[in-house]
């Protein structure tokens, strides 16, 4: 999916309102789409690249932004490749998420196949049952 098409979708999560469609959320940080409910954020990144560095960079930037009074979750939409699957990316991010838990208010990270998220003409409701069934939650290797 093209970046502009992703940003034009009506992403939704109950209780949140669209906040940003690709603009600068913080200096040097331009996520693809952001939903907001007060100081609670849902950050969405659509990744077509297969480099794990892209995902790690997105994780670090979200964790850095979600500090002090800001809390939230991060969702990566992935276009799978032979060398990059949802499960591989979730496993790769797990130890970094555990490390960042001590310094960030990033609560949850999910990796979802773009085709599963944007099915039947529109995106799934984030945190809805269908989303929960197709998303892979990045696990903490230890309890928070």
For the stretch 41-88, pLDDT in tens is: 999 999 887 788 889 999 999 999 999 999 999 999 998 888 889 999
Q: Is the CB of residue 71 less than 8 Å from the CB of residue 107?
A: yes
3 state SS for 30-67: CCCEEEEECCEEEEEEEECCCCHHHHHHHHHHHHHHCC
Q: Is the CB of residue 125 less than 8 Å from the CB of residue 135?
A: no
Q: Say how far apart CA 12 and CA 107 lie, in whole Å.
A: 18
The pTM (predicted TM-score) of the whole model is 0.93
The pLDDT value given to residue 144: 43
The domain locations on the chain are 3-137
Q: Say how far apart CA 12 and CA 29 lie, in whole Å.
A: 21
pLDDT grade for 141, boundaries at 50, 70 and 90:
low
In the chain, what percentage of residues exceed pLDDT 70? Answer: 97
Q: Is the CB of residue 23 less than 8 Å from the CB of residue 137?
A: no
Q: Where are the alpha helices (DSSP H) in the chain?
A: 3-8, 52-65, 86-100, 114-117, 129-134
Residue 120: partners with Cβ closer than 8 Å, 6 or more residues away: none
Query: In terms of Cα–Cα distance, which of 144, 137, 72, 138 is closest to 106?
Result: 72
Tens of pLDDT, residues 1-19: 778 888 888 999 999 999 9
């Amino acid at each position: 999916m093209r970046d502009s098409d992703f940003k034009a979708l009506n992403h939704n999560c109950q209780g949140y309102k669209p906040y940003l469609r690709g603009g600068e959320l913080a200096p040097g940080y331009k996520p693809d789409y952001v939903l907001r409910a007060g100081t609670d954020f849902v950050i969405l990144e659509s990744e077509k690249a297969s480099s794990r560095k892209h995902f790690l960079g997105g994780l670090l930037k979200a964790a850095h932004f979600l500090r002090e009074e800001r809390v939230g979750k991060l969702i990566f939409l992935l276009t799978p490749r032979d060398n990059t699957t949802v499960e591989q990316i979730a496993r790769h991010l797990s130890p970094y998420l555990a490390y960042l838990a001590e310094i960030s208010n990033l609560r949850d990270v999910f990796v979802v196949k773009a085709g599963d998220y944007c099915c039947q003409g529109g995106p799934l409701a984030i945190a809805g049952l269908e989303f929960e069934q197709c998303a892979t939650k990045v696990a903490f290797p230890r309890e928070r």
